[in-house]
Amino acid sequence: MSLEVVILAAGQGTRMRSSLPKVLHPIAGKPMAGHVVDTVRSLEASGIYLVVGHGADRVRKALAADDLTFVEQAEQLGTGHAVTQVLPKLSDNSQVLILYGDVPLIKAETLKELLNYATETSLGLLTVNLDNPHGYGRIIRDEKQRVTAIVEQKDASAEELSIQEINTGILAVTSKQLQRWLPKLSNNNAQGEYYLTDIIALAYQEGTLIETVQPGTTTEVEGVNNRLQLAELERVYQLEQVEKLMALGVSLADPARVDVRGQLNTARDVFIDVGCIFEGQVELAEGVEVGPYCVLKNARLGPGVKLAAFSHLEGVALEGDNQVGPFARLRPGTHLEQGAKIGNFVETKKTHVGQGAKINHLSYIGDAEVGANANIGAGTITCNYDGVNKHFTKIGAGAFIGSNSSLVAPVEIGTGATVGAGSTITRKVDNQALAVTRAKQLQKANWPKPVKKQEN
pTM above 0.85, yes or no: yes
Return the CATH number of the domain spanning residue range 227-435.
2.160.10.10
Who contacts 157 (Cβ-Cβ below 8 Å, separation ≥6)?
151
281-303: pLDDT as tens digits: 999 999 999 999 999 999 999 99
Q: Is there a common fold for 2-221 and 227-435?
A: no
Choice among 35, 312, 335, 361 that is catalytic: 361
User: Are the CB atoms for 359 and 370 separated by under 8 Å?
Assistant: yes
pLDDT on residue 12: 84
- What is the spatial distance between Cα 98 and Cα 319, in angstroms, rounded to a whole number? 46
Name residue 393's beta-bridge partners: 368, 411
Instruction: Choose among 96, 78, 52, 93: nearest CA to 185.
Output: 78
- Residue in 260, 340, 328, 270 with CA at minimum distance from that of residue 303: 270
- Residue 404 has a pLDDT of 97
Reported as a single tens digit per residue, the pLDDT across 31-74 is 999 999 999 999 999 999 999 999 999 999 999 999 999 999 98
The pLDDT, as a whole number, for residue 4 is 97
- Which is more confidently placed, 456 or 408? 408
Q: Please identify, in words, the CATH class of the domain defined by 2-221.
A: alpha beta
Q: pLDDT digit string (tens) for 142-157?
A: 999 999 999 988 889 9
Q: Is 335 a catalytic residue?
A: no
pLDDT digit string, tens, across residues 214-252: 999 999 999 999 999 999 999 999 999 999 999 999 999
State yes or no: pLDDT of 360 exceeds 80. Answer: yes
Domain ranges of the chain: 2-221, 227-435
What is the predicted pLDDT for the residue at 454?
A: 82
Cα 354-411-340 angle, rounded to 5 deg: 15
Residue 439 pLDDT > 80 = yes
